[in-house]
């Protein structure tokens, strides 16, 4: 009778490049999420809304749109897709039933996301938990198929955005608090917003599976391959996202360009995200140092750090500051402080413990057994 291994992934089995990429993505996603913590809702999408009062605010806002908006979530989504494949493959190798275990694991993630959403409406974990079964079922399809479906999903949200903008322009679909400090957004705009979030997440996950299967996201390609690809991706992606900003600036951030101005950025998201993975992988190929170890630690504790970013953000901005009084510059000072804290505490925690606290609880619930937490109890 085959013995079933119920243990979680061991430290020596980790793919360091995934941790390194995830670490940067975890820190980067705070660059946009914090805008929702510290500023009124419309400011997340509309740079001309509250919080942009000085030249420095405009600089931070535009740089955030170019380098962070959508891209860090895309990297997270790609890593999530790769993670489902990695988890299923390892579960199968350990003699477990991968479908049942993956389904249960992501049901737990859905529950974590629900609790997180009770604190903050910007949660993405519920989206990931809902998409997970689709990723599992398609994980063994060819790389070309995965890329094609991922690109199709991005195309669908672009087309839906163009259609929704036409409804906004003829007055039948008010933008509401998506763009202005006013009434809630109309049903049509809300549908586009939700459809966009799911299409971008699922599309990036499928592309992430393809990138993992090809060895790209694990860091196994040649150095020259990553160098060549990042140049091509950035040359295509950054001009596009800058063009989108210029559309909104030229339109004076009017409702007529609210959604259509985001379309170029959406098209550019995957190329730029792939370029980011390439450049981070190149950095990971260099000799190890303390900074790399700390960023990897942030990545190993990505779920804990993601949740604690929210807890810190809503606590700080609910108790110390008024949203109507904050600027983008002030929010960025907060972001840098949280980065410093998480870079320090992640390494300190993992020096003593094998997993982040939320990761550990998730693993215990996944395997329905007590998992060793202290490093002294591990054979590593």
Q: Per-residue confidence at 15, pLDDT binned at 50, 70, 90?
A: confident
Strands (DSSP E) contained in the chain are none
Residue 158, CA distances (Å) to 135, 185, 263, 317 in order: 22, 19, 6, 34
Cα distance between residue 156 and residue 160, in whole Å: 6
Cα distance between residue 20 and residue 300, in whole Å: 9
Question: What are the phi and psi torsion angles at 341 (to 5°)?
Answer: -65, -45
For residue 321, tell me if it sits in a domain: yes
For residue 262, tell me if it sits in a domain: yes
For residue 380, tell me if it sits in a domain: no
Residue 13 is predicted with a pLDDT of 54
Answer for the pair 284, 1: CB distance below 8 angstroms, yes or no. no
pLDDT over threshold 50, residue 379: no
For residue 5, tell me if it sits in a domain: no
Output Rg (C-alpha) for the chain, integer angstroms: 21
Of residues 212, 224, 213, 271, the one with CA closest to residue 18: 212
| Structural domain for 334, as ranges | 11-372
Q: Per-residue confidence at 8, pLDDT binned at 50, 70, 90?
A: very low
Cα distance between residue 207 and residue 205, in whole Å: 5
For residue 379, tell me if it sits in a domain: no
For residue 348, tell me if it sits in a domain: yes
pLDDT in tens, 168-189: 999 999 999 999 988 899 999 9
pLDDT in tens, 81-124: 999 999 999 988 888 889 999 999 999 999 999 999 999 999 99
Token look-up 């390892």 returns 90
Residue 319 is predicted with a pLDDT of 85
Query: Cα 151 to the chain's mean position, in Å?
Result: 18
Residue 168 is predicted with a pLDDT of 97
For residue 3, tell me if it sits in a domain: no
Residue 3 is predicted with a pLDDT of 42
Q: Per-residue confidence at 143, pLDDT binned at 50, 70, 90?
A: very high
Mean pLDDT value across residues 137-157: 97
pLDDT over threshold 80, residue 323: no
Residue 43 neighbours by CB under 8 Å, 6+ apart? 35, 49, 50, 51, 52, 328
For residue 377, tell me if it sits in a domain: no
What is the domain count for the chain? Answer: 1
**Six token digits for residue 15:** 């793919």
Cα distance between residue 265 and residue 47, in whole Å: 14
């Amino acid at each position: 009778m085959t013995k079933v291994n119920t243990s979680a992934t061991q430290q020596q089995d980790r793919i360091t490049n995934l941790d390194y990429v995830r670490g940067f993505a975890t820190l980067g996603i705070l660059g946009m999420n914090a805008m929702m913590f510290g500023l009124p809702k419309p400011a997340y999408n509309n740079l001309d809304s509250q919080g942009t009062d000085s030249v420095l605010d405009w600089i931070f806002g535009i740089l955030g749109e170019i380098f962070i908006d959508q891209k860090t979530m895309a990297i997270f989504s790609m890593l999530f897709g790769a993670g489902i494949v990695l988890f299923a493959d390892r579960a199968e190798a350990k003699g477990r039933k991968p479908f049942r275990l993956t389904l249960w694991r992501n049901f737990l993630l859905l529950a974590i996301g629900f609790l997180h959403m009770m604190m903050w409406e910007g949660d993405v974990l519920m989206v990931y938990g809902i998409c997970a079964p689709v990723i599992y079922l398609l994980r063994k399809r060819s790389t070309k198929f995965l890329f094609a479906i991922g690109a199709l999903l991005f195309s669908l949200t672009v087309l839906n955005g163009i259609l929704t903008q036409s409804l906004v322009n003829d007055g039948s679909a008010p933008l509401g608090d998506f763009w202005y400090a006013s009434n809630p957004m109309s049903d049509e705009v809300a549908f586009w917003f939700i459809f966009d979030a799911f299409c971008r997440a699922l599309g990036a996950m499928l592309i992430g599976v393809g990138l993992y299967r090809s060895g790209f996201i694990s860091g196994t390609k040649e150095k020259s391959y990553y160098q060549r690809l990042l140049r091509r991706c950035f040359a295509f992606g950054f001009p596009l996202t800058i063009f989108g900003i210029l559309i909104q600036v030229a339109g004076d951030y009017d409702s007529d360009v609210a959604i259509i101005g985001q379309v170029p950025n959406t098209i550019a998201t995957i190329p730029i995200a792939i370029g980011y993975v390439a450049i981070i992988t190149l950095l990971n190929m260099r000799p190890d140092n303390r900074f790399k170890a700390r960023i990897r630690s942030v990545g190993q504790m990505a779920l804990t750090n993601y949740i604690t970013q929210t807890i810190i953000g809503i606590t700080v901005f609910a108790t110390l500051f008024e949203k109507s009084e904050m600027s983008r510059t002030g929010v960025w000072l907060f972001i840098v402080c949280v980065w410093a804290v998480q870079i320090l505490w992640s390494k300190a925690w993992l020096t003593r413990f094998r997993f982040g606290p939320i990761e550990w609880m998730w693993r215990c619930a996944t395997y329905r057994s007590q998992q060793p937490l202290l490093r002294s109890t591990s054979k590593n």
